[in-house]
Structure 1
């Protein structure tokens, strides 16, 4: 499976005029699932019993505007990144619409996914299929961390109320817990949301108890995008750092210098230091080039055998996505286990 590799801060907002043109073009698209390239499965919506906590009408306040849920939604469309769909799966909620690339994640239940009514062929890199979404007649669109500007928000909200973040947050620093809570509240499942959050957090923190050797040690995780260089993933305050510290590792002081810009310049290669170094690579050729570079070979974790390299086509390489912007109640237990398997056997004494 090809893993979407996004560099931090590289997603630029589409200019309003260009997006308006995309909206107009989307309005000319076919409404049928087959014409839109969608794959319709039998089953349709599934929603657990309401908890009776959320009061409707419910105002959904986002950074781009407000919409209102008049009653509990029953037909839910999901667009954007994998945590949005994960948040529904964690609650046992089956949406009526989702995008193409959300099928093959190793933490995803194929049986649950097959129950989604419309699985569009449109990806996150395509213009939003507004007409395809509208054709599924949703009464809520979950688009957390995906709406690019007010034009997009207005077009989506003309179809159904939109769930987005109250404030715009960098993708690698968004709280998956808050996404889960927002979804739970909108669906009148806040207690269930708290439960799945707690269970996921406990699965991650259990690693610390099982691996006392991580205590006090630092771990540096980065991705080498080959042509565009290395990004430092475990930046201070970011998703990846929160995950590894929950697993028992200590914060790395070197991570502070990459908060504003995660790019690692050639002269900063020496800052890829830590008791453990994990680097993901876009391809085998890029990995070979990096690992043969004298500056990289001189890094203490490389010299001392505390380095792990992972290429994108290896099983488990989806870990890099979770550490960047794919953290969720369903992906994190898998990721904690996968990272542990990668670094088990390293001498951390």
Structure 2
């Protein structure tokens, strides 16, 4: 992937202040002076960075998190977002512009470049690398990082909480088993935008329902999604029982694969157990073509019924624009209200290539 610059700055507050000065220059009456004062206050508090409140929440509020209660005294207006893309996608779906955002990548096919450009400080960082100074410099009044309790050191969380309330999920869930609806709901609760969160969720669910209706051949069939990381790391089973990918495929009409049960605790597929990849459709993801060639040279792999019967599709990231743009990641840990609708066409095409109806 082409990496975005490590940091971008957008002078949102400067633009608002400029607008305020124009107002004052246009008129000297009291009404225009009040407009100038309002514009200046708007830029200083950051209210323009979050949509208008729905009016259902009461502050102060307390939200239980994996790190203890988050005490939110007033409605947050300057939000910092850390962690994987679903956290940032939740903010985008709710119309929230973070003052600070950090993640491993923002170069995903579904992300809005205009929205990314509007973020005051945008940083690409390793998953566990927390820039405390950068977060503090953005002056947030809420730090949103659900689904990251397994990533960050407790010391980092404690130091972040000294900057602003830290909003995390109430329970620690493995990254590939997180409910993609949780992040928008959690942010919606904190920002008095719960209706907006439910609307975003409904739109994503409707997109999956539409895809299922367009592909009745999915109904009642089984599917396996897995990635071959090469000799060092081997195969990882994506559609494990109880995982995010399994839920996505069942929403599209597929039946849970009975073979998926054994991978719910450990997703690694050993070489001798390659036969457990079998399903009505087998989709294998590869980082590069050499890995695909090695796998397809394996005698045990070729003995899998789905492979023998040409119900197998190979997807090589370097040769598939949608895979390179994050569609495979969505099926692992990147599922969100924004990424799921974008990914559906790619998945449907890959299943079609597996000749499910043969």
What TM-score, normalized by structure 2, do the two folds share? 0.85
Distance 1:327 1:276, change over 3 A: same
Partner of 1:140: 142
Unaligned runs of 5+ in 1: 4-33
Q: Report which stretch shifted further, 69-78 or 336-345.
A: 336-345
1:287 to 283, 287, 292: 292
* SS of match in other structure, 1:228: coil
State how far apart, in whole Å, the 2-side matches of 1:2 and 1:249 are.
Answer: 34
State how far apart, in whole Å, the 2-side matches of 1:142 and 1:108 are.
Answer: 18
Instruction: Answer whether contact 1:76 1:140 (CA < 8 A) is retained.
Output: yes
State how far apart, in whole Å, the 2-side matches of 1:121 and 1:272 are.
Answer: 34
Residue 54 in 1 paired to residue 57 in 2?
yes
2:314 to 295, 309, 315: 309
State how far apart, in whole Å, the 2-side matches of 1:348 and 1:146 are.
Answer: 37
1:180 to 184, 187, 193: 184
1:129 to 128, 131, 137: 131
Residue 82 in 1 paired to residue 98 in 2?
no
The Cα of 1:344 is off from its aligned counterpart by: 2.0
Deviation digits for residues 68-96 of structure 1 (CA, Å, limit 9, x no counterpart) = 11111110001100000000101111101
Instruction: Answer whether contact 2:105 2:124 (CA < 8 A) is retained.
Output: no
Partner of 1:322: 330
The Cα of 1:324 is off from its aligned counterpart by: 0.9
* SS of match in other structure, 1:308: strand
Q: Report which stretch shifted further, 306-315 or 177-186.
A: 306-315
Residue 202 in 1 paired to residue 196 in 2?
no
Distance 1:230 1:207, change over 3 A: same
State how far apart, in whole Å, the 2-side matches of 1:214 and 1:320 are.
Answer: 19
Which structure shows the bigger proportion of residues in helix conformation? 2
2:224 to 220, 227, 231: 220
2:339 to 322, 327, 331: 331
Partner of 2:67: 64
State how far apart, in whole Å, the 2-side matches of 1:265 and 1:86 are.
Answer: 34
Larger radius of gyration: 2
* SS of match in other structure, 1:98: strand
The Cα of 1:100 is off from its aligned counterpart by: 5.2
State how far apart, in whole Å, the 2-side matches of 1:229 and 1:268 are.
Answer: 12
Taking the TM superposition and a 5 Å limit, the aligned residue runs for 1:79-118 are: 79-99=82-102, 101-118=104-121
Q: Report which stretch shifted further, 88-97 or 294-303.
A: 294-303
Residue 211 in 1 paired to residue 215 in 2?
yes
1:161 to 158, 161, 165: 165
1:73 to 76, 94, 97: 76
The Cα of 1:298 is off from its aligned counterpart by: 1.6
Instruction: Answer whether contact 2:97 2:115 (CA < 8 A) is retained.
Output: yes
The Cα of 1:121 is off from its aligned counterpart by: 4.2
* SS of match in other structure, 1:220: strand
Instruction: Answer whether contact 1:76 1:95 (CA < 8 A) is retained.
Output: yes
* SS of match in other structure, 1:66: strand
Partner of 2:304: 299
The Cα of 1:312 is off from its aligned counterpart by: 2.5
Partner of 1:273: 278
Q: Report which stretch shifted further, 215-224 or 300-309.
A: 300-309
* Cα RMSD (Å): 1.7
State how far apart, in whole Å, the 1-side matches of 2:12 and 2:223 are.
Answer: 44
Instruction: Answer whether contact 1:97 1:136 (CA < 8 A) is retained.
Output: yes
Instruction: Answer whether contact 1:75 1:95 (CA < 8 A) is retained.
Output: yes
The Cα of 1:345 is off from its aligned counterpart by: 4.4
State how far apart, in whole Å, the 2-side matches of 1:178 and 1:79 are.
Answer: 15
